[in-house]
Structure 1
Amino acid sequence: MAAPVKILALGSANGSIKELFAKIKAIDNKHGKFDLALCVGDFFGKPKESGAVEDTEAAGEDEILLMLDEKLDAPIECYIMQGENPLPDVVIHKFSKTGGELCKNVFLMSKSGLVTTASGLRIACLGGAFEPSIYSTSEVAPGFASPFFSEQTVEKLLSNSLTKSTSASSLDLNYKSLASIQSSSSSSQFVDIFVTNVWPARITDFSSTPLPSLPSSRIGAPPLDDICRHLRPRYHFAAGAPSEGREQQPVFWEREPFSWDESGNGNGRLSRFISLGSFSATAPVGGKKQRWFYAFSIAPETNSVAVQRPNNASKNPFMEVRHRKRPFQEIQSSQGENYIFGDVKQPVKRSRIETGDGKPPPGYKCRRCDSTEHFISHCPERQKPPEGYVCRICNTPGHLVRDCPSSSQNAVGDTGGRKPKAGYVCRACGNEGGHYLDDCPVVTQRGGGGGKRGPPKEIGPDECWFCLSNPNLAKHLIVSIGEECYVTLPKGQIIPTQSAVSSNTLKRFPPIVPGGGHVLIVPITHYPTYNTIPTDLAPPIVEETEKYKLALRSFYAKHACHPIFFEISRLSARGAKGVHAHIQCVPLPQSIKSEEVEEAFLSEGRAQGIDFEGDAESALGINARAGGYFKVDLPDGKKMLHLMKPGVPFGIQFGRQVLTSILGFPSRVDWKACTLSEEEDKADAEAFKKGFGAFVSWT
């Protein structure tokens, strides 16, 4: 069994950095030696108000600047996180430059980070506060400059937790090993330690440990319940107060441990939850100073070690099955005992039809024809349209709208199966021109089709074609993995290879780039588009994207080709949460000049009503974040930009349509008609990866 790691967990410092370091040193000297410290909650505290007056000496001794300038020494390795407040700009700037190391022994974990220590411990972090309206509706994932986390923050954390890497060279490991990505479907998401600023919503369920204060009936953040089910941390530390009010002081509360072993044999995985008080708190909570530190030892987990269930263990609050809600019909027919009033018969709703032959009761008269033999719903007169009636759908007499063969209420979906206009793209599955959203099989399978219903469910990361957390992702097509992005061959690439190559296509354009060469550059984190990446998190992603572009240019040049890059940036009214940002890159023979490509886009654009801006760079800077755009990087470096207009359709296959026309492969517009077998896909990926590897030495 691996040697245990001794850890000191600490509550919010709130800017008292010098004093906290002194306390850590004192505790370490008395009870150590500790291997590392985990500082949960707010380390830097609230941002200073602009215009605040401070004396020169105090301003010169600012503890944050002293720490960043290596003038405040942390006695042991300290891992810190974001708490209730935005991080100071100087800290964000330092983080973007170093990837997390703020100074010697002080490391800032990402808002949705994963750290694997040298000893093998996996530490997950979710920073920030929970605000339901921001979490569920924000189109841009909040970065360190925001005090909140969002759905995208959570998605990145769950994606990061899939890695098998044990390297501690990066705080946010993401996916540094291509081999680990390709085998990630069998890897575990479990972590040893989880640090958050807020509590899970169900953490107090089945606990008999008294809470120190409970000013609100709502406790914690519901999204954390699902995260805990995925990560199953052995220790979970939080610093936030257990209420809706963000101004309340954090409290100390240690919950009874609980097991993830459903069989109850005592050998299952155990979790412990500890909330820590604030280190810098001045006012006591509940009449006493809240405990703000917690020392413990934990050994890296091995499969051979059985965990015994403690005597004080409770039911698991995240796995207890909730009783299903009884249908009204079942309650209505129940003759059982009422839990309040005893044995009381449930009233039965009287049927409209009292007689056994289906006829109306005595005295009933049809309001349409005055007959007493049928209800109005079965009246023959009701089935006939009034004199002079013309169907509004097909403009012909003789039938009502509900009976119109063109309407076909029995057809699929709310739109009766009618075909959309050219250019319409289904938001659920991405199909162009095939059906409306209401008729989409994806929506129908989720219970969304037909009749009155709520808004369609957006595609989540577990269904997203490009999210690494999707177990159905075609990982065998991935050819390179970096810190922030990965490169993959698409399914059904434009360039024909192997069995897709006929003698005619070989003469026209042989696949001179190994594996075909059509690839996608994809950010690892799920962002709908490049222009929705938070400004404080965008620089490393954009920088690595440009590095991949440069590497592809060099690789293609070796094979007498040059690349064309194109990107579609488009958000729906709901933020297009099912879309994942990516840039497509296609190699063209150097015999096809950049001017020819530009003219092809302009010509096809005029035919489809797609115009391009005169000054792409200026237009992109002014308008890109305000709406959608289609962007092309030509082989000579010139950029083309089309700004999408509200209500005007734009075909998502426009870029592919132009390029297949240039290359003489018009039949390859639809990627679904160009797919190969998995064996051939793997062969293409291996061929491309073998040649491309020498050009991406930084990965």
Structure 2
Amino acid sequence: MAGKPLRVLACGDVEGKFDLLFNRVQVIQKKSGEFDLLLCVGNFFGSTSETEWEAYRTYAKKGRRGIFSSASGLQIAYLSGTESQSETAPAYSFSSKDVAELKISLLSIQNFKGVDILLTSPWPRDVGNFGNKPEEVDTKRCGSVLISNLAMSLKPRYHFAALEKIYYERLPYRNHVVLQENTQHVSRFIALANVGNTCKKKYLYAFSIFPMSSMDLAELVKQPQDVTENPYRESGKEAHKSKMLSGSEEQPACQFFFDLSKQRGKKRQSDGKEGQHFQHKQPRKISQPPGSCWFCLASPEVEKHLVVSIGTHCYLALAKGGLSNDHILILPIGHYQSVVELSSEVMEEVDKYKCALKKFFRSKGKRCVVFERNYRSQHLQLQVIPVPLSCCATEDIKDSFILQAQEQHIELLEIPEHTDIKQIAQPGTPYFYVELDTGEKLFHRIKKKFPLQFGREVLASKAILNVPERVDWRQCTASREEAAVVAKAFREDFQPFDFSELQ
């Protein structure tokens, strides 16, 4: 990078309060020095006539969309007005044609990487997806889908908007798919309040920026710790993906209740038929396994004596031949092969179980490691293995996975904290995935062969649990009677943390 960064002020709805704005800018400049640019978004004139603006006018009219390039190389794209409800847009509105022409004018540039700044009046629709959401605005209803599409294409480093009378700075989001595309710069969306608002909400935003064209690539694509997924990437695809998974519309899995109450002296809600372990509730069409499945809760093959908790969409069971007596599996009740195939409601309950188990194991002085092997398996099994806090630090566990992977020539990559695994792997993609109690995640895309016991090998090693004899689950299974006793003890111990008991 050569020279000094540009110092920029961005402002929300001015609404004709020119004197108030420029007096405030002068005060700021006296305190912190001159700024190179003042950019305004939202309702600029308000009810004030344009003649009152003449004293401040220093620009030539550019039209309702366009690109401004400064002498330093800073590139600013802008789209004026609100979204028109027809293709013939009035002067104060923009249409899909305006958006298309603005995109074409930039995307046709050779080696286009994105713009430095995007200015719009409305917010982009769905900007809150995968990130922090404003309390006052529903981002799924507010804003323009056209602007979402524009931001998706132009990849602005900064995107400013207004009109909603609030200040909102979204977490930065990435413009590439992790492990599938080259790393690109992040985008920051900032909404600004109106000038002189009585609630003292922020309407001026100061920042420094080097033009993208003058930056070293490695510096440009640095990813901050709080980066999230692109909020617009799934906006138009989620429904289509659901249909593809199910053949038409997504069908929730069947619901079954397994009676665990007899051993606890309590009754669970049922249809009144006693003596049946499984009872249907609102039966629905689900995907069927190619043969009998040990883990579908409706299957006669399921090991009922290992079940310790049942929710609406998922259940917990002790691992058969586990690394320890509290090695637990989180499993979907219906037939799903991997996490990436789960519907949002099933995934929500998986997360609730992970949270409950984490709290439970913490109360026992343990941290937990979660891993999934989506390879040569037909039903999703999330393995949850507790590790005593006194045994080793989370960093040691992470290093053990990485070192063992290197020894076996396995490319185990760390995923950014806010990454959703569904953004990395498509349904049907074989993979191995580890999640640590700190939120750190490791991922390997399986291309050929993969050691089936890899996760157990790492955790059973001397560096962690020091139970190398338990690497192969088939060598350490207990009798049915012994396993039932252990499951009953775990069930009773876990009960205060079990949200399914509170439903």
TM-score where L is the length of structure 2:
0.46
Which protein is richer in strand relative to its size? 2
Compare relative contact order (CA 8 Å, sep 6+) and give the higher one, 1 or 2: 2
Higher Cα Rg: structure 1 or 2? 1
